[in-house]
Each structure stands twice: as structure tokens, then as C-alpha cells.
Amino acid sequence: MKADPLSVMWRFNWLGVPRWSELSIGFSGYPLVDFHLRIVDRGEFSYMLIHEAVKAAVASGCLVPAKPIADWAGQPRVVLLCKQIRDAIDAGRNDENEKERQCWAKVEAVFSHFIEGGRITEDLVKQLRPEKFEHWEFRCRKPKPSIRVFGRFAMPDVFVATHAQPRALLGGMWSPEFEHQKLVCEDHWNACSLHAPFSDAPDFRYEAYITENARRKLKI
């Protein structure tokens, strides 16, 4: 199903960001519009609840949409930033250490790549195990030090970034430090009064979360 430009304009206004309405011209198939039409047909009211919760969080300033680096770029996906990650990015921009500034610039570049519809694999955006708890990470590996941004999907193609941690502080997978950050992610999520995150249980298909130009493993 493809969305016409008027539907795209309406969906952008759903997030309460008027500048997005300018992008309606020439867009073909904004994924969120298609998704909205599908859930109404199926009567899946839980997604309508998360729609309203996210809308309220954006209106209150609890969540702020990240912007692509290029103002003219299309935005088929959305990244919403919690206060902690916004503060971390602001601090990184103004850090006296050039390497720190470069690391946080990479975080913003990764967000921009995602928002603009760039190719995504789990090398960049990965679902953490066990999948049923719906924790995800953006993996910003270079330049060093590597940074992990934690978050969850509110809906397909709508990622809520909760907070970030240097990878060096997380230990190995399943370490107490890594597991603790999953709980921190949930705390930030709940602080925005969001409902249960989107889930494709029991299949957890990668393409259900990132609906276009995405594959869990890159095939060569």
C-alpha cells in the first residue's frame, strides 16, 4: 500500500512538527501512513494508544524529534529523543576534547542516516536479547570510543532513543552493566508515559520494525 502526498502531510502533522508538512510533496509511500491504515482495519487498538501516548510526549517536550543533517533530506523514519540523550548530545557538541566531539557527531550522523531511510542492518541497529523485552541499540562504533544508544520502537519506523553509554563501560553481553542499561532504558521510556513498545512477537522479524531498506544480515 502506498500513501498519497496528502496522507503523508497529515501523518507528519501527527507528530506536531509543522516543518515536516513541507516534505509532503513528492513523497511516495511514507511507511507510517500505511501502518496507521492497517491497524485501523485490524482493530488493533493498542497501537492507537501508543500513537496517542507518543503524540502527548512530543507535545509536552518529553520527546523531541531528531533532525536530519541535511534540511532538504526526506524523512521516511523517525527518531524521538528522550531528555538524557538530548543532554548527552549537547554536552558532546561542546566538549573540549575533539575526539569526544567527533564521537557525538557520529551519533547524530547515525540518527540522520536512519531518519533519511538509509540502508540498515543489525551492524548499526540491533535488537538485544531476549527479544521479548524489546530493547534495541544503535551501534556507533567509529571513531573510538564506541557509543551505544539504547531505545525501543514505539511503532514501525518510529524509534525512541532513551540514553547512551560508552561501550567500554558495558562489559560483555549479559554482563550486569549491560543488563542494567536495559532497565535504565525502561525507566526513561516509562518517564515519558509511553505504553508497551511495538513488538513483532513471536517472530521478531527485522523488517517489521524497520519496514524499508533494512535487513538483519547484509547479504552479499
Task: Give the amino acid at 27.
Answer: F
Alpha-carbon distance values, 60 to 20, 57, 63, 131, 193 (Å): 18, 5, 8, 30, 11
- To the nearest 10°, report the CA torsion of 171, 174, 177, 178: 90
Q: Is the pLDDT of residue 9 over 50?
A: no
Contact call for residues 105 and 115 (beta carbons, < 8 A): no
Tell me the average pLDDT across 73-79.
Answer: 90
pLDDT, one tens digit per residue, over 13-61 is 345 443 333 333 233 343 443 333 333 333 355 667 788 999 999 999 9
Pick from 86, 116, 119: nearest CA to 104: 86
Percent of the chain with pLDDT over 70: 78
Q: Is the pLDDT of residue 179 over 50?
A: yes
Tell me the three state secondary structure of residue 173.
coil
pLDDT bin (cut points 50, 70, 90) of residue 171 is confident
Burial class (CB in 10 A: 0-12, 13-18, 19+), 6: exposed
Percent of the chain with pLDDT over 90: 66
User: First CA to last CA across the chain, in angstroms?
Assistant: 28
Helices 45-60, 31-42: axis angle to 10 degrees equals: 140
Tell me the average pLDDT across 50-78.
Answer: 92
For residue 160, what is the enclosing H or E element? strand 158-166
Contact call for residues 104 and 89 (beta carbons, < 8 A): yes
C-alpha cell at 125: 541497529
Least confident of 13-17, 146-150, 191-195, 202-206: 13-17
What b-and-e string marks burial along 79-95, b requiring 16 or more CB atoms within 10 Å of the CB? bbbbbbbeebbeebeee
Specify the pTM: 0.79
